[in-house]
Structures are given as structure tokens and as C-alpha cells.
Amino acid sequence: MDDAGRCLLSVAWNIRTGGPRSDPYADAIRTRLRTLCRTLGHATCRHAETGAPGDHVPALRLADLAYEIDILLMLLGTSLVPSPRRDHRRRQEIDALLTGLDTLAAEAAAALEEVCVPG
């Protein structure tokens, strides 16, 4: 579990920020990804410290998905030949992935509920 938590923290740390072509859509999603990965990463590490068993797979899937979304955001509007249709398809793919992200985040949080929510 500790490795899964550190993986989430690493993804949060490496998500791109702003840049020369700042895009409010991308910036809002990246902020959300960083916050989610950081919060669940710390919670997963705290869970590991307790020695309680836990399923690390949802946390790793979440890290992988957050990284994939960040990559797709990087591809938006950065091609040599602008293509609004391609960017639109990417935005639709990102929005679909965000739905999956919410599901994985809920699964990961449910496994850590006792650690995330003080009693």
C-alpha cells in the first residue's frame, strides 16, 4: 500500500502546471488531478503505516488514469497543424476518462475510509 500511495504522490508532483499556452479547461482538470492524487496518496501512505491490509490496485489504476489524462491534456492544441476536430475528440475522451477517474477515486477512498475520515 505504501508503494501505491507514493505512486499517487509522484503522479501529483509530476502533473504539468500552466505554461505558455495556459488553458482554463486543462488547468482546472490538472488542479483536480493533483489534489485528488495528493490527498489519496497521503491517505494511502497513512493506511500503510497502520499495517492494515488493503487493496492497492484502485490506487495504482487511479495514478495511471491521472497520468493518461495529463498526457492527453498536453496534446490539446499543441500539434504542428491545428485541428479543432482532433482537439474536440480529445476533450471528449478526457471527459469520458474523468468519469472513470471519479469511479476509481471512490473505490480507492472506500478502501481507505477509516484513514481518510477521522472517527
Residue 68 confidence (pLDDT): 95
Residue 83 inside a domain? The answer is yes
Residue 119 inside a domain? The answer is no
Angle between helices 57-75 and 2-14 (to 10 degrees): 10
Our count of domains for the chain comes to 1
Residue 59 sits at the vertex; the CA angle it makes with 10 and 95, to the nearest 5 degrees, is 90
Q: Taking the chain (119 residues) in consecutive chunks of 10 residues, what is each chunk's mean pLDDT? A: 91 81 86 94 91 86 95 84 89 94 88 58
Q: Which domain holds residue 98?
A: 3-114
Residue 9 inside a domain? The answer is yes
Residue 32 inside a domain? The answer is yes
Residue 51 inside a domain? The answer is yes
Residue 53 inside a domain? The answer is yes
Q: Other CB atoms closer than 10 Å to residue 23's CB: what's the count? A: 14
Residue 52 confidence (pLDDT): 80
Residue 117 confidence (pLDDT): 47
Residue 116 confidence (pLDDT): 52
Residue 99 inside a domain? The answer is yes
